[in-house]
Amino acid sequence: MKKISVVLAVLLIITSFFTFAEKKNETQQPAVTVEQLIEQGKYQEAVTLGKNMEAQGNTTAGLLVNIGVAYYKLKDYQNSISYLDQAIAKASDPLTPDTQLQLQAYLFEATIYHEMNNDEKVSEVYQKALTVAPEDKQLLQNYASIMETKDPQKALEIYDKLVSLDPASYGYDASIFAMEKSDNSRAEKYLNSALAVKPDDEQILLAMAKLYLKEKKYQEAVPILEKVITVTTREILKPKLLFFLASCQLEIKKPMEAIATCDKILSIRANDENALVLKAKAYRETKDLANAARAADAALSVNSENEEANYIRAIIAIEQKDFKKARHLCEKVVNLTQNPDRKKEVQGYLKEMKGAR
């Protein structure tokens, strides 16, 4: 996500201020303008010229902004803010309002306060700007980015509005921030809004799949994973996505579908040990111990130290009453595992099998 550094992007707006040339009237215009002097790096001369024009009664909101810009370039932040405030007041004249100029001046003020490390003022300026343009998406995005660290709940409230205005553009980023803050229901809402507009967007689909897997919503994850597998052009992702799909299918008690999905993985990676282990688990769920054993043995032929393969093969051996094989495998699992619960479980099997043939 874009963090508070987003505010610095507002500096790009400086160039747009130069277009706010002083409105020409019947009085004689200077040979060079304030904005031209700023462009030339002659900031003090720009301030002097701008003030001379003020003294002659040629004050416009655009001129005030340009003087504010010149002061900013001179690192005179207080005078810069003073002139920007005057520009905002002038542009707010109900008889001749200039909403765009007000907004630009507010954004520039926010940048100045950010450089002054005054986050409270930055927030205050954004709130004022939103009274001028409550549905300006760039403004809302910048403000949300600032509030992410200062007030995450406020940031989420801003994202609520931003996503409602443009779910396709902002739903994904907002969902990632919501997930970071463990507000998964909000993240799901954002992603659903985005998918309603862009149903085939791979990035959004992947985020939704990740969310459902995190939430253990396996039933909901299945169609999302199936969809992203069909739309992705990144072949390297498919085995992993297929593995997640097979895992979800097994979780929702559809072992035959899980076996079929594992076979798809194995058609891409013939010796994928994780797919073979999952296939063994799925066959065991169907009570097909012979095929379960074959799949587990195939995984062990790829990696004899695979803890999960050894564990599932040990369980199958116990169920097949092949206690000699089961004891050997259980002893191996005890040596391999770092999981105290699994170690205790397998040691229990070993104790039960004492004396069994």
The pLDDT of 309-324, averaged and rounded, is 96
47-70 pLDDT per residue, tens: 999 999 999 988 999 999 999 999
For domain 255-357, give its CATH number from 1.10.3720.10, 3.30.230.10, 3.40.30.10, 1.25.40.10: 1.25.40.10
**In the CATH hierarchy, which fold is given to the domain comprising 1-116?**
1.25.40
Q: Look at residue 26 and tell me whether its pLDDT is greater than 90.
A: no
Q: Look at residue 29 and tell me whether its pLDDT is greater than 60.
A: no
- Tokens linked to 50: 């701008």
204-235 pLDDT per residue, tens: 999 999 999 999 999 999 999 999 999 999 99
* Three-state SS at 49: helix
Alpha carbon of 176 to those of 91, 127, 210, 321: distances in Å? 38, 24, 10, 49
CA 137 to CA 63: how far, in whole Å?
27
pLDDT of residue 28: 52
pLDDT of residue 119: 84
The pLDDT of 9-16, averaged and rounded, is 42
Q: Look at residue 10 and tell me whether its pLDDT is greater than 60.
A: no
127-184 pLDDT per residue, tens: 999 999 999 998 999 999 988 988 999 999 999 999 999 999 999 999 999 999 999 9
**What is the 8-class DSSP label of residue 232?**
-
Average pLDDT, rounded, for the chain: 90
Per-domain residue ranges of the chain: 1-116, 255-357
pLDDT of residue 4: 41
pLDDT of residue 262: 98
- 335: which residues sit within 8 A by CB, 6+ positions away? none
pLDDT of residue 94: 82
